[in-house]
Amino acid sequence: MNTTFLKIELMRILRDPVTMFFTALLPVFFYIIFGASQDYSDLTAGNGNVAMYIMISMAGYGAVTATAGIGGMAAVERMQGWGRQLGLTPLGDGGFVAIKSAVALMICCIPIGLVYIAGLFTGAKGDSLQVWLLSLLILVVGAIMFALYGLIFGLAFRSEAAVSAASGSLVILAFLGNIFFPLSGALLTFAKFTPLYGYIALARYPLTEGFSVGTDGIVTEEALWIPVVNVVVWTLIFAALATWLVRRGRGRQ
């Protein structure tokens, strides 16, 4: 891996105050407002408490916002001529994707890390270390699929505004993904088909083991295969769309 290239790419993101606010601070703020500061935060939820449940949700929201932004910018940069400049170097498409993926992976650790640290100090409880670590690992690895989500927006609309749109649209998907408040009924059934649902449900699985409480107070249990199928199918859809858009872009060059 080209460490100089990687280091400069990381620095570009770290020194951009707007990006850092939305990817690093906003999720922490959300966690404190919707989680730590609420009365229900210390109620038991599976293998931990509600604060932990909301901590995982908000960390996931921050992580996908970060990776979608990086994926989208990668597409826009390449189409605005930086791709031609890199075409004059030995760095191929594979090398570029590897570096951007590494950047996405590292940057998404920032909101996850900050929210987890906030959780640690504000009463988020997990019964075992395994709940903490396993959920964290799923959050980091799963966030990569949303780099593809950002990439698709960048490839399709070819502008910085499209990248903002990608991050913005994640707010809606986060509602549908059962992140900001628990859904129930028909809306929950629909939510299970949306892309953020599977990712967050999987990340919370070490804590909930599939159990959840809706706004109506009814406890439901969900089989593990539902979020797994959701993630697999959406990853395939994103990958296919991104591949198709890259090919279309090549043809038009």
Partner 1 sequence: MIINSPIVRISRRTRPSSPTILTTRAVDHDIRHVWMMQLRPYCWRGVRHSVAGMNQPTAISLARVTKTFKTKDGNFSAVRGLDLEIQAGQIVALLGPNGAGKTTTIDMILGLTAPSTGKASVYGSDPRAAVHAGRVSAVLQTGGLLRDLTVRETIQMVASTFASHSGVEHVMERAGLMDLARRKVSKCSGGEQQRLRFALALLPDPDLLILDEPTAGMDVGARREFWKTMQVEAAAGRTIIFATHYLEEADAFAQRIVLMARGNIVADGSTEEIRAQASGRTVTATVEADALDEVVASLESMAEVNNVSTDGQRVTVASTDSDAVARRLLTDLGGRDLEITTGSLESAFVSITGDQVDSDSSTGNDSEAVA
Residues that bind partner 1 (CB under 8 A): 2-5, 8, 11-12, 16, 77, 80-82, 84-91, 95, 251-253
CB of 84 to partner 1, least distance (A): 5
Q: Which lies closer to partner 1 via its Cβ, residue 78 or residue 204?
A: 78
State which residue, 33 or 97, has the beta carbon closest to partner 1: 97
How many whole angstroms from its chain centre is CA 92?
A: 27
b/e burial code for range 27-64 (CB count within 10 A of at least 16 → b): bbebbbebbbeeeebeeebbbbbbbbbbbbbbbbbbbb
Cα separation, 216 vs 168, whole angstroms: 29
- In whole angstroms, how close is the CB of 19 to partner 1 at the nearest point? 10
Q: What is the closest distance, in whole angstroms, from the C-beta atom of residue 31 to partner 1 in the complex?
A: 29
Nearer to partner 1, 217 or 252 (CB): 252
* C-beta of 2 vs 38, nearer to partner 1: 2
Give the list of residues 6+ apart from residue 231 with CB closer than 8 angstroms, or none: 142, 145, 198, 199, 202
Choose between 37 and 85: whose C-beta lies nearer to partner 1: 85
Q: Shortest distance, CB of residue 249 to partner 1, whole angstroms? A: 12
Q: How far is CA 216 from CA 31, 173, 178, 199, in A?
A: 22, 22, 14, 23
Would you call 202 exposed, middle or buried from its count of C-beta atoms within 10 A (0-12, 13-18, 19+)? buried
Q: Which helix (H) or strand (E) element contains residue 150?
A: helix 145-157
Element (H, E) at 151: helix 145-157
Closer Cβ to partner 1, 3 or 225, answer by number: 3
Quickly list DSSP for 121-139. Answer: HTT--BSSHHHHHHHHHHH
Least spacing, CB of residue 251 vs partner 1, in Å = 6
Nearest distance, CB of residue 47 and partner 1, angstroms? 43
